[in-house]
Amino acid sequence: MAHADWTTDVLVVGSGAGALTAALVAAELGAEPLVIEKSHLWGGTSATSGGTLWIPCSRHMREAGFEDTPEEAFAYIKALTGDEVPDSRIRAYIDNAGKMLDFLEAHGGPVFQCVNYADYHMGLAGAKQNRSHETQPISAGQLGADYDALQPMHTGAQAFGRVNWTISEARPIMTRGPGWWWSILKVMARYWLDVPQRLRTPRDRRLTAGNALLGQLRRALNAKGVPVMLGAALQELIVEQGRVVGAAIEVAGERRNIRARRGVVLGAGGFEHNASLRSEGFQTPTSPNWSGSQRNNTGDAIQAAERAGAALDLMDAAWWAPAFRLGDEDRARPMFAERALPGCIIVNRLGKRYMNESASYHAAGGEMMRLDSPECPTAPSWFIFDAWYRSRYAVGPMLPGPPSRDGAVKPSLWEALRKGGTLAELATAIEVDADILATTIGRFNEHAARGEDPDFDRGVNGYDRYYGDPRHAPNPCLKPLEQAPFYALKIFPGDIGTKGGVVTDEHGRALDGDGEPIAGLYAIGNTSASVMGRAYPGAGATLGPAMTFGYLAAHHLAQMNAVR
């Protein structure tokens, strides 16, 4: 490298949970890290997310009285991934995920607890109920001026589009489970009683979920004096004699070089907002507008790694989720819970059901993508519900209430929402055959009245019921659609990020086409090909591996000899 504007031990590209974990661990192990982020905001998609980590066999599980073993976790992941992922990577994740949590807690990072969240495939051997972990809320005041540049929560992940909440607070409110009124009173009182903040801004300074996770990581980095450079976009990796020794970046429109004495960790997210890469990889027509991820994830780091010789895999895969898009919002809204509640179904553009609506968002979104064809058009599909559902549950920004309150619904929602006084009128509004729609709903209603779904087994397994209404019997996920008017929301096979990227080993090292490590180059999170293959084991299976392999990459880098 002819000239270096900055020199550091470890250059970390990206500022999400995996990237900041790598930086913090590297600093704690005695290396000097530098974090760069192309956006003017830090935190990446991680900060906008639910902030949950899927961690098997953790100390937190044991202390809470829940049993888990590495053998069970391996059997579960292996059943989902098959031969797509080397056993060495799966075992590295299982063996080190809990260690990563303990390391962060011991060095001023986030504090975790396991939560009562079912794995997404409870019918498989090795599935468990409490592998998902979340962090404790913190006050934005702990971040000082850094709070202003923190990526805000996704609107769809907040109560009423503005109030932050934890998983334990959100679930009873969304499903109207036991104590839901008390939960909503506490959440809203905490928000509105923060009078000084309400006089300044609607933004909630009680940080939960992804904001709490990233806030605690940044607080720990600040204590170690680790710099985070915003507005610094990766352009190229710099390779000398087969080793990655730094990167060329763009800052304020000018090229700058950074030398990395030990190596570069790419943790800059996926390519979900790169229309070209989506079109090349995905099997059906798709759009970045269907993604719920923040808009800076355009695959820059993945492409830079490929130019440096890295192999890529899983470029046809994503963390799928049925989603809808409002014209006045900058990203789609994934549908996590609405589909599991009684009184709704999903039909394709022919007016036919084709899936278990209560399945995990990844499974449901994957079915929308997989089945889309001229014979079975599923992109878009229609999420249909009746007045009974409308009066009890929220649908995006449409809060529960009687149809008489439809005039108060956010105008942009009506761009995607249709309404009919009868099923025939709704069929006309969504341009499907009225007889086919009537037959579909008639069959569904007949069985739903008995709490059954012989076609797709909705509401049978533990995950389906997790977001069902516990007050509704005999099946918390099933009820006939009977009360007019009827509504239909246009939905797409969206995503919360892509899964494809750089092929890596059990240390997070990038591999070339021959399976050999590229010296000095590491990739983690959605910049790497997922350790979960095309599967999604449970809530937090994105952030858990991102942070674990960030931890492993930092440990491996700390042992490397510095290149001068």
For the stretch 41-61, pLDDT in tens is 999 999 999 999 999 999 999
Could you tell me the pTM of the whole model? 0.94
Give me the pLDDT at residue 190, please.
84
- The CATH architecture assigned to 1-154+207-317+499-564 reads 3-Layer(bba) Sandwich (3.50)
| Residue at 58: amino acid letter | S
Q: What residues contact residue 560 under an 8 Å CB cut-off, 6+ apart?
A: 262, 263, 520
First to last CA, the chain: 10
Give me the pLDDT at residue 364, please.
97
So what CATH class is 322-494?
alpha beta
Give me the pLDDT at residue 304, please.
98
Indicate where the chain has its CATH 3.50.50.60 domain(s): 1-154+207-317+499-564
Give me the pLDDT at residue 155, please.
83
Give me the pLDDT at residue 21, please.
98
| pLDDT < 70 positions in the chain | 1-2, 562-564
Give me the pLDDT at residue 563, please.
64
Give me the pLDDT at residue 2, please.
65
- Axis crossing angle, helix 70-81 with helix 87-106, rounded to the nearest 10: 130
Give me the pLDDT at residue 102, please.
98
Q: What residues contact residue 39 under an 8 Å CB cut-off, 6+ apart?
A: 15, 151, 230, 231, 294, 296
The residue among 163, 155, 251, 146 whose CA lies nearest residue 206 is 163
Give me the pLDDT at residue 286, please.
92
Is 12 in contact with 34 (CB distance < 8 Å)? yes
Give me the pLDDT at residue 165, please.
81
The kind and range of the H/E element at 93 are helix 87-106
Can you read off the two tokens belonging to residue 335? 């549908």
How many residues in the chain?
A: 564
